[in-house]
């Protein structure tokens, strides 16, 4: 499999730093954004294979960011991370076009394999 470029979006800098370091150790190219607005700007400017998006962020929630991402580049798989297993929010995420979701704290292995699954499925659809 060719290299994977991931955009991690979360308002918690400690999370971004830790997971970026852990994913880089697995040969994943990682960019980070600390808000939905920053993520949208980055998606307009660069290509990503998958986006990992926190659902609970100030100013622009993950659900709102997902809606904008779908309008901007609908083919990029989005994995939602949430510390709150709210069924209503998860229903919105599923209906909003997310590839899947994980509950925080997700293990690095669990997140990595979810990223690989999303990229494989995306690349199969493109063929």
| Residue environment code for 65-93, b if the CB has 16+ CB neighbours within 10 A, otherwise e | bbbebeeeeeebbbbbbbeeeeeebbebb
Lowest mean pLDDT segment, chosen from 36-40, 80-84, 91-95: 91-95
Question: What average pLDDT does range 28-45 have in this prediction?
Answer: 97
Q: Mind listing the pLDDT tens digit for each residue in 67-86?
A: 999 999 989 999 998 876 66
Query: Can you list the domains of the chain with their CATH numbers?
Result: 4-126 (3.40.50.2300)
Does 105 sit behind a cis peptide bond, omega within 30 degrees of 0 on the bond before it?
Answer: yes
Confidence band of 87 (pLDDT split at 50, 70, 90): low
């Amino acid at each position: 499999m060719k290299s994977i470029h991931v955009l991690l979006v979360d308002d918690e800098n400690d999370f971004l730093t830790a997971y970026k370091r852990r994913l880089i150790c697995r040969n994943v190219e990682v960019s980070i954004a600390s808000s939905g607005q920053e993520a949208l700007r980055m998606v307009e400017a660069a290509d990503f294979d998958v986006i990992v998006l926190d659902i609970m962020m100030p100013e622009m929630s993950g659900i709102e960011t997902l809606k904008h991402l779908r309008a901007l580049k609908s083919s990029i798989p989005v994995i939602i991370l949430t510390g709150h297993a709210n069924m209503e929010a998860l229903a919105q995420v599923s209906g909003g076009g997310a590839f899947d979701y994980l509950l925080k704290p997700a293990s690095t292995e669990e997140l990595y394999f979810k990223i690989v699954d999303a990229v494989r499925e995306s690349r199969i659809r493109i063929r």
